Amino acid sequence: MRKHITGGQSNEHIYVQQFEIPQIRLFELLIQQLPLAALTQQCANALLVKSLKNAEYPVLVDIGIGTGMQIVNVLRLLAQPSDCRVKQLTVVGIEPFADAVRAAENNFAELQLPFQVYVTSSIGFVEKMTLTELRALLPAHYDALVVNASFALHHIQLAAQREAVFGYIRDLAPKAFVLSEPVSDHFEPHYATRFHNAVTHYGLVFEVIDSLDITHKEKAALKLFFSREIDDVLGHTEDVRVEKQYAVHQWLELFRTTGFTLEKPITSFQELQEMNGAVLRADVPQRYAVVFKNEELTNVFWAKP
């Protein structure tokens, strides 16, 4: 609050700031150990596999690919079903953090799969790209396009930019657009309201962390990730901050106004659906949700134009 009032904020995006432990590394730890993230990616990965497996030459565009570990897991899952038709898959990664892109390329190079994988990357922010630039990343021929964005698009600062990015994705005519996001209105410009929303959301997240059977050092590392987010949500001015999460109704409205139809191609999940009190639910309308203490903390959407 003192920082918000007196200034002194960094003007750099939270994921490109030079922390002693990079935020992208903490995000990997979060995916591995936090039930909220693990259940969310379980849901998103299953949706991606279902969307890709019946094509022979699909393209998977990942916005905010990071070090590529989610897509590595998707490709491993895709190699398992006996009815998978994929012969060659192109991964297009968009990511502002150059070191993460290099790590992703190394992670993909180590894969051994029954189909060919080609990887191309673009270092930058998707909201600063044009539709022409996005189309230029795609191969000349493919039979299905799937777009994935996990915990990335809430970093787009302006509502108009979000609408433009969704419009570009729509114009690419994907078979599926899979979006995973935290649920809380931190886009809210009114400080007191945003403070209340942040206390509710991060308070529950910290309760989940405290319930984990991991070391104090690992809990501290997870809390450090979210502490930096809280610092951005509550310590930075509107023109600087990038942690601008939407509530459910705001994402639903964005999908509607940009011409997407929301569907739920998977109605139940056979794998683990509950971890430390967090539950993956498929019975909520137009989305999948990870719920803790009756509060939705993350959402996964499956949409098509």
C-alpha 229/C-alpha 259 separation (Å) is: 31
* C-alpha to C-alpha distance for 52 and 143, rounded to whole angstroms: 10
Asked whether 211 and 277 are in contact (CB, 8 A), the reply is yes
C-alpha count within 13 angstroms, C-beta hemisphere, residue 89: 29
Q: What SS3 class is residue 62?
A: strand
Question: Is residue 56 a contact partner of residue 144, using CB atoms and an 8 Å limit?
Answer: no
For residue 57, name the pLDDT band (cuts at 50, 70, 90). very high
Q: How many CB atoms lie within 10 A of CB 212?
A: 15
Class of domain 2-304: alpha beta
Map residue 125 onto helix, strand or coil: coil
Percent with pLDDT over 90 in the chain = 77
What are the pLDDT digits (tens) for 148-158?
Answer: 999 999 999 99
For the record, the structure tokens of 134 come out as: 């996005």
Q: How many whole angstroms separate alpha carbon 305 and alpha carbon 177? A: 9
Helix axes 23-33, 35-52, angle to 10 degrees: 90
Q: Give the length of the chain.
A: 305
Q: Judge contact between 86 and 58, C-beta under 8 A.
A: yes
The residue extents of the domains of the chain are 2-304
- Exposed, middle or buried: residue 190 (CB in 10 Å: 0-12, 13-18, 19+)? exposed
The stretch 269-279 carries a mean pLDDT of 85
pLDDT tens digits, residue range 181-215? Answer: 999 999 999 999 999 999 999 999 999 999 999 88
Q: Which amino acid is at 98?
A: A
Structure tokens at 170: 């729509």
- Decide if pLDDT at 280 tops 80: yes
| Lowest-pLDDT range of 8-17, 20-29, 72-81, 127-136 | 8-17
